[in-house]
Amino acid sequence: MTEPLSLFASLRRPRLMIRAARAGLAEYRRDRDLKRLLGATPAPERALPALLDAEARAEQTRQTGDAAYSIARHVELLIALMAEARLAARTPA
């Protein structure tokens, strides 16, 4: 699990997006939010890599200026990433 955590730690995103994601952490509900973002509620060890992949796609869409980009979804992905990284850090290996 250390590889996904190190990938998460190396993410560089706009400060405002990170602030918005931190503010949304209090409202994060794993079963509700993961199902909406990933279509299922995977086990914790599978959720972080899936979220990293989805967030990377959102970041690529943002950087290319694609009209399909959704800042709300991107922030939701960042919220889930932060929450799942915290969960993974607390869970013994």
- State the Cα–Cα distance between residues 27 and 33, nearest whole angstrom: 10
* pLDDT tens digits, 10-22: 778 999 999 999 9
Domain ranges of the chain: 2-90
* pLDDT tens digits, 50-72: 999 999 999 999 999 999 999 99
Number of Cβ within a 10 Å radius of residue 14:
11
Which of the four pLDDT bands, split at 50, 70 and 90, describes residue 5?
Answer: low
* pLDDT tens digits, 27-47: 999 999 999 999 999 987 889
- State the Cα–Cα distance between residues 58 and 62, nearest whole angstrom: 6
Asked whether the beta carbons of 49 and 7 are under 8 A apart, the reply is: no
**Would you state the pLDDT for residue 65?**
94
